Structure 1
Amino acid sequence: MSLVRTLLQNGIYCCGTVKSDSGGFPEELRCPNLRRGETLQMQHDQVIATAWKDKKMVHVLSTNCSPLGDGPVVRRTRGGNFQGVMCPPPVAAYQKFMSGVDRCMQQRAKNPVGRPSKKYWKFFFNFIMEVSLINAFEVFNKTSSKTVQLKSRYDLLDFRIDVSNKLIGGFRGRKRGLSMQNTLDLPHNFVKLDRSKSTCKWCTKHGEKKRKETVNGCISCNKHLCSEQCFRAFHLDMHL
């Protein structure tokens, strides 16, 4: 809210969505009980706060629209039919002119690349990959003719699948050679395993909050175990 007022004082008008729990946003508009197409608005000077119920609740702050003059917009119902829904001017203006960051966030939410991770660099890597794919898709739509697109409605998911197939190419993966020694004949010993780190199976099973990765474990069970205590507890639990 303070940013909107500062922009207005400098002669810059704006219109955009906000989170309902943003500082300065009216309490009365945060969770109103509205039906689809209903609007609740509050105004202070030239700043208009709007809560509008579409499929979900939409919250908008604007300084460049009149609060009056709701118009119809077309929405699809569950049965596949279309119906008119009344829409306030601030929301209509936002939907008409929104682009850039807003559309990028919508596209990212549809088919996210990443998964929740405690490692920050994975989040940044997935974020950069998602934005790069979205930018490439927008450039593709602007520059390519419709004859290039194989489907009548070629969306971001189709584009990502095509990019993935091109990157994979004919790669089939390397087959691991079979070990000449049967691990079932080996004794249960706490040793350093001849492969990369992995999570401790005992700590993971019992919900340890701290992620523990280790190269140690039991060569016979072929399991990673971070300490001798985990080694003993794991084998007692398995009755070995």
Structure 2
Amino acid sequence: MTDESSGEHSVSDTDSEYDPVESISSLTDSEEEKTPEKRIRHSEEQQATTSNEIHHGEVTEVVSTNDVIHPDEEPKDLLNLIVDQSNRYAQQYITNNPNSYYARPFEWKPLIVEEFKIFLGLTLNMGLTKKNVLRSYWSTNPIHHMPLYSSVMSRTRYTMIMRFLSFTESSMCLPRNDPGYDKLYKIRPLINFFSKKFSQLYTPDKHISIDESLIHFTGRLGIKQYIPNKRSRYGVKLYKLCERATGYTYDFRVYEGKDKQLEPPGCPTYMGSSGKIVWDLVSPLFHQGYHLYVDNFYTSLPLFRHLYLQQTVACGTIRVNRKGFPQRLVNTKLKNGELASMRNEEILALKWKDKRDVYVLSSIHKETSVEIQGRQGLVQKPDCIHDYNQFMGGVDFNDQMMQPYRATRRSRFWYKKVSIYLFQLAIYNSFVIYHKSTERSGAFLDFQEAIVTELIYHEGSAPDNIYSDAVGRLHGRHFPYTDPLPG
């Protein structure tokens, strides 16, 4: 089920966590925050070389270190690209809205790479220390107080950076009625950068799988999907190719709508849309002897035949109404534990009776079975079904590892949630590479904490303790003090 209505803003998420309102009182005059917020001060040299200045409502042109990059091109320096595009977007917004809160003197200060690292570190840390609302991270209430956030960045500054976070030049986007319009143009540089790096830096093991992940989003969006067996159910869908052993995401594609015509190189034109997705993801691994596992959404006889010709064998459950699947096998009556199979050259079609009928198509296995320990004793299970249960869960394993630390929050802008998810996906892939390269890699949580610390305190080591008057005065030692007499 898809909502084909166009639009990028959510109707239901009106109290967005990521996007501040236009009123300055709602940002700073909170009952929980009675102390003035601190702003990050940069050196005069940094401000002169990397940013524009705002004086009494007049905005000078942003000095960008990079030229405008087309969304389809891969950025050479991702952080510089994000900083430049965010500054450009802020300048355009202030120029077009001179009476806005952000256009007031000294309210918006141009972003630099070092400050964006702090912003990213604070955002990722929100997945490690979860709170219900964003303002709780800057609250001076002893119950919620976290001195880390207020010590490195004010809440006003954080929400401003999130407000103008941008990854591409909007003026280069084609109009919606143009045949070449890209629904993902807002995050296309991010997608191109990570998808290429993921495949360059790691070679997966023999067993790989393709499945779907869902980034929760309930607002109005033409590419929004409904998947009832996912935890989030509504959101932006990703097709991911993952290694089973570690959950490493070798490649991914973001769903762009059913009207998007995918034509991967070398793929037969008569292949269905699901088969073209598999071909597009697996084609870099052709002729290397990989074993691919997919579910019944992708499995088809033409796909498995053409993958076999590319020296990539596959196994997956299949829907009985798929074209080419033998109906004679479907009509065969079986008792519990029995199996029936048919073979057409390299392709095996199998039916096995368990609690229900299970149908499998495989170019890997033969009609053999393995004895395993069941709840009621030893049972015979076909090799193809046993291996499918063992090697299919690469994407699910990846989701399970990332789910406890999701840093995405409610937002009216879908691309901001997807961008944060991609950064976290990159962190998990980095952890897998680090785990493979060292004997004592530690837990994924420890790895994330080290990255967050490095992002926030990139100029030096983190302090042992962060003292805050809001909490320290409640349990600190107090002594009488005599004011000396004048003279």
| More contact order relative to length (CA 8 Å, sep ≥ 6) | 2
TM-score > 0.5 by shorter chain: no
Q: Which has the higher strand share?
A: 1
Give the TM-score taking structure 1 as reference length: 0.42
